[in-house]
Amino acid sequence: MRTLSAGELIAATHNSGKVKELKALFEPLGFKVVSAIDLDLPEPEETEKTFVGNAILKAKAAAEATGKPALSDDSGLAVTALDGAPGIYSARWAGEPRDFGLAMEKVRAELDAKGTTDYSARFICVLAICWPDGHSEAFEGEIAGHLEFPPRGDRGFGYDPIFVATGETITFGEMDPDRKHAMSHRADAFKKLTAWLEAVAN
């Protein structure tokens, strides 16, 4: 049975916001999260068509480069009225260099062009672990909500300033980070991952 022992864990992401959240989730379990930024690893091109595919692709590249188990996160915003866009292209909508202010403007422009009043959306996250031999495990989480404009708050990253989770009145960008970590799409995927860790440990 494959397992994962506490110790150094490579975070296969170049997104500093994701690194911060992954550290907050994994370090209390005894893992030392070392990011692809820290190790100056190249950023692989995301060529898959799903969150799961891209998460595994990134984790596999980091595991092969370091010879250690690697964790990756592929996540994005799926807007109902835009048929799930930007989805796996969420980061790419922000251009190079990343400008999520521009990305959020694009989301609003696309919704306006549709003439829709449906602002429902989901954040989706897949956490994938890959070992140097190529074995991988993936865990998908999500949180439902709706979009509000103009953007509010500077406490999150990405599309957080326009996303209000179901049952909440403030955006993820306005929310205390600990509160967001407890309820987010990343937290949902993390709960599934930790349940798997407990199952294989027993």
Catalytic positions, written as ranges? 74
Quickly tell me which residue has 């954040």 as its tokens. Answer: 123
Instruction: List residues bridging with 74 in a β-sheet.
Output: 126
Report how far apart the first and last C-alpha atoms of the chain are (Å, whole number).
10
- Mention every residue, 6+ apart, whose C-beta is less than 8 A from residue 179: none
> Residue 138's beta-bridge partner residues?
128
Helix (H) or strand (E) holding 9: strand 8-11
Nearest CA among 47, 42, 53 for reference residue 13: 42
Collapsing DSSP to helix, strand or coil, 85 comes out as: coil
Amino acid symbol at 22:
L
Q: What is the CA radius of gyration of the chain?
A: 17
**CB–CB of 76/87 below 8 Å?**
yes
Instruction: Report the distance separating Cα 172 and Cα 137, nearest Å.
Output: 28
